[in-house]
Amino acid sequence: MKNNRIRNVLKGLSFTSAMFIFQACYGTPQDFGYDRLVEGQVTSETTGLPIKGIKVSVAGDNSYYVTTDDEGKFSFYSEKEENVLIGFEDIDGDENGAFRDLFKTVEDISESVYLEIALKDKL
């Protein structure tokens, strides 16, 4: 703790910005952590069973998505922003059952979020 204080004082006196983070010569800049893990499981509201093949994406960005696996699970990293709208869309027709799309807003900006999503049957 004491060392950290001295370090920060010396850093300040030498005009090394508090925000300065080094990068190695042939390396990359350091990752500032602007993303977060979004993971979860999609199930059928009627049967409780997992649904495969559901497209999970950040709404408004169609080129960037994952699909749920055999256990209905998904996982990806997205921008760490408030009020991100995550879409759950049945894009494979009747192949794994027919379900209504659902959009869920993630309000906080925590490092990771786990979503349990139950989709209604398509009428």
**What is the rounded distance in angstroms from the CA atom of residue 51 to the CA atom of residue 29?**
39
Q: What is the nearest approach in angstroms of other proteins to the Cβ of residue 92? A: 19
- Identity of the residue, 44 or 75, whose beta carbon is nearer to other proteins in the bound complex: 75
Report whether 87 contacts 58 (CB < 8 A): yes
CB-count burial class (<10 Å; 0-12, 13-18, 19+) for 93: exposed
CA distances from 91 to 37, 40, 47, 68, 98 (A): 23, 18, 20, 11, 9
Q: What is the nearest approach in angstroms of other proteins to the Cβ of residue 101? A: 21
Q: What is the nearest approach in angstroms of other proteins to the Cβ of residue 81? A: 9
Q: Which of 45, 10, 29 is nearest to 123 (CA)?
A: 45
- Identity of the residue, 36 or 97, whose beta carbon is nearer to other proteins in the bound complex: 36
- Identity of the residue, 17 or 123, whose beta carbon is nearer to other proteins in the bound complex: 17
Q: What is the nearest approach in angstroms of other proteins to the Cβ of residue 98? A: 26
Interface ranges with other proteins (CB under 8 A): 3, 6-7, 9-17, 20-35, 37, 63-64, 66, 75-77, 79-80
- Identity of the residue, 64 or 103, whose beta carbon is nearer to other proteins in the bound complex: 64
